[in-house]
C-alpha cells in the first residue's frame, strides 16, 4: 500500500486545474443502464472509484473504454442484473444500479452495502422509495432483491434529504408509468447534473435543483453525452491547502472549477481571513496572515459539506483561537482527529462536535488514514507540519483525488509517493 512522504513548511503558489466530480460520475455512469446504446462522459476523473464503477458495469455486460478523461460506455448488451458484494463492499455508490435495473429490466439483485468507517450508512430510503414505485423488495442473504412488472409513479417524501436515495429513485421513476413527486429531494450539484443528463436522455423532470422534483415517466429513453461538472470537494480541499500554507502575496489560482458550487466554503474561508476572488470558472485565493477561528456545522447543500469537515478541522488546527465543528450528517466521522492529535493538534470530540484549539506548530509523524476525506485532512496538516509526515494507506485518497501529489508538487509542495508497508 502506497504512502505519502510530506516535508511540511513549503508555501503553495501557482495554478491548479480541478478534475471532474467523483460523485457526479458515480451517479451518471449507472444511468447508462436505462437505455441501450453508446454514451460519452467527458471530464471524467481518473479515480479508483470510477474504475470500481466501471468494473461493476462491465460485470453486467457493458463495455467501457476511456480516452484520457472521456469515458465511453456501451450498454447495448446487459447480461446481468446483479451487483455482487465484491464490488459493493469496495464502494457504496454501487447501490446506484438498483433504480435503473429495476425500472428497465424489472429485476435487480444488489448487495447491501453494510457499514462504513464512519458508522452506519443505511440505504432504507433507497429501498422505501423504490418500493413505493411498486417494486417488490426483499432482503435475501445480504442482497436487496427487487422485482417489478412496470414501476408506477408515486408521491415520495424523504424523511432525510439523501443524495444517493434521490438519485436512485429518480433513475427508477424516469421509466415508471405515471408521475412521481419526490419531496425533500437532494439539491446537491451532482443530483442536478444527473437530472440534466436524464433529461438529455429523454426523461421529463421538473423542479431540478429544488427540494421538490416531479418526474413524468416515459416509455423509453435514449443514450446521451455529458461533461462531468468540476469536483467541489477537490476545489474546497485545494482552497484549504492554499489558506493553510500560503504566504501573503503568493496566491493559488484554481481553474476549471465552479465557484457557485463552493459558496459555503468560500464564505468560511473569508471568515478565516483569506482573500478570495472568483470568475466564471476560476477562484484565486490568498492566505490570511493569521488564520482566524471559524465554527462550521455541516449541512445538506448549499450548507457546508460534510465532505469538507475533516479538511476544515485541519485548517482550524492552526487557527489563532478555538473553533467548534459539528457534523450533523455523519455523527461518527471524526477518525482523522486522533491522527491530527498525533501531529500536535489540540482537538477534543464529544458526540458529533469537535472543539479545535488552534496551535502554533504541528510536527510531522507517521499517521494513518481511515477514509477518503480523513486522508485529505492528514495531507493538509502534513503540508504545514515541521519535519516529515508519513501518511499511510493513501489508497483511500486515490478513490477521490486525481493525481493529488502531482497537483500539490506543481504548487510547490514537497510531497512524494512511495510504496508503503504491508498490513
Ligand atoms: C453522498 C456522497 C458522500 C457525501 C454524502 C453527504 C456520493 C457517492 N457520496 O453519499 O460523499 O458525504 O452524500 O453529502 O455521492 N441516509 C439514511 N437512509 C438512507 C440514505 C441516507 O438515513 O437510505 C442518511 C445518511 O445516514 C446521512 C444522510 O442521510 O445521515 C445523508 O446521506 P446521503 O446523502 O444519502 O449520502 P450518500 O448518498 O451515501
Query: What residues contact residue 241 under an 8 Å CB cut-off, 6+ apart?
Result: 12, 252, 380, 383, 408, 411, 413
Query: Model-level pTM?
Result: 0.97
Residue 349 CA, ligand 1 centroid: distance in Å: 22
Query: What residues contact residue 402 under an 8 Å CB cut-off, 6+ apart?
Result: 19, 45, 46, 47, 234
Catalytic option among 17, 116, 199, 335: 116
Indicate if the pLDDT at residue 196 is higher than 80: yes
Ligand 1 atom closest to the CA of 22, numbered from 1: 8
Best mutation site among 121, 125, 192, 334 for ligand 1 pocket (most ligand atoms within 8 Å of CB): 121
| Inter-helix orientation angle 232-245/372-384, to 10° | 20
| Three cell numbers written together for 17 | 486545474
Q: Are strands 179-183 and 155-157 parallel, antiparallel or unpaired?
A: parallel
- Mean pLDDT within 288-311: 97
Residue 162 CA, ligand 1 centroid: distance in Å: 5
- The pLDDT, as a whole number, for residue 115 is 62
Active site residue 116: yes
* Nearest protein CA to atom 33 of ligand 1, as residue: 162
C-alpha R_g of the chain: 21
Indicate if the pLDDT at residue 250 is higher than 80: no
Local confidence band at 421 (pLDDT 50, 70, 90 cut-offs): low
pLDDT one-digit tens code per residue, 75-133: 999 999 999 999 999 999 999 999 999 999 999 999 998 666 666 678 999 999 999 99
pLDDT one-digit tens code per residue, 142-168: 999 999 999 999 999 999 999 999 999
pLDDT one-digit tens code per residue, 396-412: 899 999 999 999 999 99
- Measured CA to CA, the distance from residue 267 to residue 277 in angstroms comes to 11
Amino acid at each position: 500500500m502506497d504512502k505519502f512522504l510530506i516535508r511540511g513548511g513549503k508555501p503553495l503558489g501557482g495554478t491548479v486545474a480541478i478534475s471532474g466530480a467523483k460523485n457526479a460520475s458515480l451517479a451518471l455512469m449507472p444511468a447508462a443502464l436505462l437505455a441501450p446504446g453508446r454514451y460519452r462522459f467527458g471530464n471524467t476523473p481518473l479515480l479508483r472509484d470510477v474504475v470500481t464503477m466501471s468494473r461493476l458495469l462491465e460485470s453486467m455486460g457493458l463495455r467501457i473504454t476511456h480516452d484520457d478523461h472521456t469515458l465511453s460506455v456501451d450498454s447495448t448488451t446487459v447480461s446481468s442484473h446483479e451487483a455482487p458484494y465484491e464490488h459493493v463492499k469496495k464502494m457504496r455508490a454501487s447501490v446506484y444500479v438498483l433504480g435503473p435495473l429495476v425500472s428497465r429490466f424489472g429485476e435487480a439483485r444488489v448487495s447491501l452495502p453494510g457499514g462504513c468507517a464512519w458508522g452506519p450508512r443505511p440505504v432504507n430510503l433507497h429501498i422505501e422509495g423504490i418500493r413505493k414505485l411498486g417494486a417488490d423488495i426483499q432482503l435475501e442473504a445480504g442482497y436487496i432483491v427487487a422485482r417489478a412488472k412496470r414501476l408506477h409513479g408515486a408521491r415520495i417524501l424523504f424523511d432525510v434529504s439523501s443524495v444517493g436515495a434521490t438519485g436512485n429513485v429518480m433513475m427508477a421513476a424516469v421509466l415508471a408509468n405515471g408521475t412521481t413527486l419526490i419531496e425533500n429531494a437532494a439539491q446537491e450539484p451532482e443530483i442536478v447534473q444527473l437530472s440534466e443528463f436524464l433529461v438529455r436522455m429523454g426523461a421529463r423532470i421538473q423542479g431540478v435543483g429544488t427540494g421538490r422534483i416531479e418526474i413524468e415517466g416515459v416509455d423509453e429513453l435514449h443514450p446521451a453525452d455529458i461533461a462531468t461538472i468540476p469536483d467541489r470537494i477537490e476545489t474546497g480541499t485545494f482552497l484549504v491547502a492554499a489558506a493553510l500554507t500560503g504566504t501573503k502575496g503568493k496566491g493559488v489560482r484554481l481553474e476549471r472549477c465552479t465557484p457557485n458550487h463552493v459558496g459555503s466554503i468560500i464564505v468560511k474561508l473569508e471568515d478565516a481571513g483569506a482573500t478570495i476572488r472568483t470568475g466564471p470558472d476560476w477562484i484565486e485565493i490568498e492566505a490570511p496572515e493569521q488564520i482566524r477561528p471559524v465554527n462550521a456545522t455541516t449541512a445538506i447543500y448549499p450548507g457546508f459539506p460534510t465532505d469538507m469537515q475533516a479538511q476544515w478541522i485541519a485548517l482550524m488546527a492552526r487557527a489563532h483561537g478555538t473553533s467548534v465543528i459539528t457534523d450533523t450528517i455523519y455523527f461518527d466521522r471524526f477518525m482523522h482527529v486522533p491522527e491530527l492529535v498525533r501531529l500536535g493538534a489540540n482537538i477534543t470530540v464529544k458526540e458529533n462536535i469537535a472543539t479545535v484549539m488552534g496551535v502554533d506548530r504541528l510536527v510531522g509523524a507517521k499517521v494513518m488514514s481511515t477514509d477518503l476525506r480523513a486522508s485529505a485532512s492528514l495531507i493538509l496538516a502534513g503540508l504545514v507540519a515541521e519535519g516529515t509526515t508519513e501518511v499511510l494507506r493513501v489508497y483511500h485518497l486515490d478513490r477521490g483525488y486525481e493525481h493529488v501529489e502531482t497537483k500539490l508538487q506543481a504548487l510547490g509542495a514537497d510531497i512524494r509517493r512511495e510504496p508503503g508497508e504491508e498490513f
